[in-house]
Structure 1
Amino acid sequence: MNLLSDALKWLVAPEQWEGKDGLAVLLGQHLLFTFISVVIAGAIAIPVGWAIGHTGKGREIAVGAAGIARAVPSFGLLILLVLLLGVTHKPEAAVLAFVVLAIPSLLAGAYTGFEAIDRKTIDAARAMGMTEWQILFQVEIPLGLSLLVGGIRAAVLQVVATVTIAAYVNLGGLGLPIITGLNLRRFDMVLGGALLVAVVALLLDMLLAIGQKAAVPRALGSKQRKVRTQDSKTSLVQEKELT
């Protein structure tokens, strides 16, 4: 408990939030790396995932590539990219490493969103004379948006947690107090930095969870609630019959 209280005191101390290496600046750096990495990864993975989900082709290749990307150790990849690109391109190397980390979740969210759509809905849209582009933008993307936001949610959480390693190559972020605290044996600083990262991750997850819920089409959401209500009534009836 003493360590936790010391960490909280360090975290809320006004002087920790001031200066060029203050927590406010480090938090901004952390969020900026996260935002840029997820946006770039989304620009790559989402169109590819939509193409796979719409055409039904290339899923095995995408799953294999995503599995390889997940298996790559982020810290090792960051150090390798820094060595390959040079110390003058450390920010680019860090962003590239985080993009590789974010792509699998975004890719999976994009194509599974399309795969979850009832094929009868797609067939009905084609029977109405809609073009493939109209089906994509007016049917598949709106219906698959919830799972895509779920993929974005997973990617953001992974990147937020991993951006802490940027401090190892002097790029700032909330990993800096953790690394500095370890070197100085200031465990209150280490725990305080870790708590701040956890709070940021929880807040972002909460916001994206709200966005994911809002992305469910109203008709689909009411249908899901109706199904849950029917299931509950069926369970109650079965329980009464058993008793």
Structure 2
Amino acid sequence: MNGNPYLEAFGWLADPVHWSGPSGIPMRALEHLGYTALGVFVAALIAVPIGLLVGHTGVGKGVAVAAAGAARALPTLGLVTLFALMLGIGLSAPLLSFVVLAIPSLLAGAYSAVESADPATVDAARAQGMTEWQILSRVEVPLGMPLLVGGFRGATVQVVATAMLAAYVGNGGLGRYIFLGLGSQDYPQMIAGSVLVIVLALVLDLVLLLTQRLTAPRGARTA
């Protein structure tokens, strides 16, 4: 290819042909978002309750921290390949990988959110006769909500950045452009796919950053 692949990538993005149909950018972006949302949602069902329990009781914190650290070290591509060999081609393999990838941030965000509550405030709530569930749901979680949202922010950015691997085992998403370009040596298409993933990750990160700031207790919000 004689031209500049980066300039050609922006030409590829500007081509109206790539913005329509089942293989167009909007549909691929929706698929990518769907994979991300599903992975983070399933991971949250597992990690957030455990993290809240660990943060509230202090029981098992060492195990939770060690497990989260070990999960962070796992290579996502290796997990996708391993699960694909076990489960076959389809969404199950990348989804399991995304769940494993998202759990550490969600777990850390959940127990850090509860631990961040002022002990004096928690003791005052307990002295007023609140149950442990009421203290958790009405005091600790609201006060630590920015950290909890921060856990979702970290998990979402990590998953959306690696959801392109869904295309590695035959699924869609923006990663489809990258793997199709790799197979046909269409480098502008590969670069365009990478740019789309980066833009999507930045947009989601900004949205969750604003959400994180808006959920801060009044008086603790920064400009």
Q: CA deviation at 1:167?
A: 0.8
Quick one: which of 8, 22, 25 aligns to 1:23? Answer: 25
Aligned partner of 2:13 in structure 1 is 11
**1:160 to 2:160 alignment:** yes
Q: CA deviation at 1:39?
A: 0.6
Q: CA deviation at 1:17?
A: 1.8
Aligned partner of 1:36 in structure 2 is 38
Q: CA deviation at 1:94?
A: 1.5
Structure 1 segments (4+ residues) deviating >4 Å? none
Q: CA deviation at 1:24?
A: 1.9
Instruction: Give the 5 Å matches for 1:177-196.
Output: 177-196=177-196
What amino acid is the match of 1:55?
Answer: T
**1:82 to 2:84 alignment:** yes
CA–CA distance in structure 2, aligned partners of residues 199 and 12 of structure 1: 15
Deviations 1:91-136 (A, max 9, x none): 1221111001000000000001111122111111111221111101
CA–CA distance in structure 2, aligned partners of residues 100 and 68 of structure 1: 10
CA–CA distance in structure 2, aligned partners of residues 136 and 112 of structure 1: 13
Which protein has the larger Cα radius of gyration, Structure 1 or Structure 2? 1
2:28–2:174 Cα contact (<8 Å) kept:
yes
Q: CA deviation at 1:43?
A: 0.9
What amino acid is the match of 2:66?
Answer: G
Instruction: Give the 5 Å matches for 1:106-145.
Output: 106-145=106-145
CA–CA distance in structure 2, aligned partners of residues 161 and 143 of structure 1: 30
Q: CA deviation at 1:210?
A: 0.6
TM-score (norm 1): 0.87
CA–CA distance in structure 2, aligned partners of residues 170 and 84 of structure 1: 15
Q: CA deviation at 1:84?
A: 1.1
CA–CA distance in structure 1, aligned partners of residues 33 and 129 of structure 2: 45
Q: CA deviation at 1:180?
A: 1.4
Q: CA deviation at 1:67?
A: 1.4
Q: CA deviation at 1:183?
A: 2.0
Aligned partner of 2:197 in structure 1 is 197
What amino acid is the match of 2:124?
Answer: A
Greater Cα shift, 22-31 or 202-211: 22-31
CA–CA distance in structure 1, aligned partners of residues 192 and 94 of structure 2: 24
CA–CA distance in structure 2, aligned partners of residues 46 and 131 of structure 1: 20
Aligned partner of 1:236 in structure 2 is none
CA–CA distance in structure 2, aligned partners of residues 191 and 80 of structure 1: 27
Aligned partner of 1:63 in structure 2 is 65
Q: CA RMSD in A?
A: 1.5
CA–CA distance in structure 1, aligned partners of residues 186 and 88 of structure 2: 32
What amino acid is the match of 2:125?
Answer: A
Q: CA 1:220–1:125 in structure 2 vs 1: closer, same or farther (change >3 Å)?
A: farther
Structure 1 stretches lacking a partner, 5+ long: 226-243
CA–CA distance in structure 1, aligned partners of residues 141 and 114 of structure 2: 7
Q: CA 1:219–1:125 in structure 2 vs 1: closer, same or farther (change >3 Å)?
A: farther
Deviations 1:5-61 (A, max 9, x none): 211110121101222222222111111000011011111111100000000111111
What amino acid is the match of 2:15?
Answer: A
CA–CA distance in structure 2, aligned partners of residues 32 and 201 of structure 1: 13
Aligned partner of 1:212 in structure 2 is 212
Aligned partner of 1:95 in structure 2 is 95
How many equivalent residue pairs? 221
More helix as a share of residues: 1
CA–CA distance in structure 2, aligned partners of residues 75 and 216 of structure 1: 36
2:114–2:136 Cα contact (<8 Å) kept:
no
